[in-house]
Amino acid sequence: MEEKLWYVVQTYSGLENTVKNNLERRIASMGMENQIFRVIIPEETEVEMKNGVKKEKVRKIFPGYVFIEMVVTDESWYVVRNTPNVTGFIGSSGKGAKPVPLHPGEIDPILKRLGLHRTEVDINVKVGDQVKINTGPFVGRVGSVDEIDYDKMILKVLVDIFGRQTKLEVEFTQVEEIS
């Protein structure tokens, strides 16, 4: 199986949410969950003052674009490019040429800004399990899992430091399970 990578599709401006919803419905109805994984529209909330009243407004960081994590096969490529209001892939010359994925240096800052990660890590631990930290300043320390945040892919681990239980925040990729 090929590697899942991030791609960008261009849409008609203002129809990004429609494209995302249509694409998610097509993925489910056509059984493409194992080839098309995440569809995101990078957005941020801005606070603006209008007539002395604070208003929160959601602003699209890249208007007219939708980001898709997928494995490009003939089938997945067909599903995405034939979704209503998709005008094409960025990095594809058209004429049947497959799109070019985003480089990790391009997608990582965008995902980090949204509180997401490029890769999904499956971790089979639960609260109370023992884990060993394998990178960072606390490498080699063993602790017990206190909290799990699947959205941010972070564990809060209780580690004994100088005779005290200290809660450390570590990413899923920084620990290994102890069996």
Structural domain including 50 reads: 5-113
Residue ranges in the chain modelled with pLDDT below 50: 1
Q: Which pLDDT does position 3 carry in this prediction? A: 79
- pLDDT tens track for 49-97: 888 888 888 889 999 999 999 999 989 999 999 999 999 898 876 667 7
Say yes or no: 91 and 19 in one domain: yes
DSSP letters, 78-133, are HHHHTSTTEEEETT--STTPPPPPPPHHHHHHHHHHTT--SS-------TT-EEEE
Residue 120 lies in a domain: no
Residue 104 lies in a domain: yes
Residue 68 lies in a domain: yes
Q: How many domains does the chain have?
A: 2
Please give the Cα distance from 178 to 158 (Å, whole number): 15
Say yes or no: 79 and 17 in one domain: yes
CATH code of the domain covering residue 135: 2.30.30.30
Asked whether 9 and 78 are in contact (CB, 8 A), the reply is: no
Does the predicted TM-score (pTM) go above 0.75?
Answer: no
